[in-house]
Amino acid sequence: MDKNLAQEQPVWPKKTRELYNHHMDSTFWNGFPFREDDIVIGTHIKSGTTWVQQIVTQLIWNGAEDLPVAQLSPWIDLRVPEKAVKLAAVEAQAHRRVLKTHLPVDALVFSP
């Protein structure tokens, strides 16, 4: 293996724009305190996001039935509730977090 390739750090995508509309506000992610084990589900609207959230939560909670997926896996950039309320609730989650977004990649913040 080339020594230069082995020493290179991954290049994370950079956020290049904010997206704001009647549903979403990408600024909710700005300064977001990621945890090492966070899972981010990023999909286009109406492409099976809730289904993916259900699968991931079932895997994490060992197949438990009747999981409150919307509470366990909040849509971070949804404009309601207000940013401070939502981020406080997400920070209070003691379990492995599963976070949802519909933002395009150039409107997201990445964390190693």
Give the residue numbers annotated as catalytic, written as ranges.
Answer: 102
Please name the residue that has the structure tokens 């300064």: 31
**Per-residue three-class SS string for 34-66:** CCCCCEEEECCCCCCHHHHHHHHHHHHCCCCCC
Distances 85 to 27, 28, 81 between C-alpha atoms, Å: 14, 11, 6
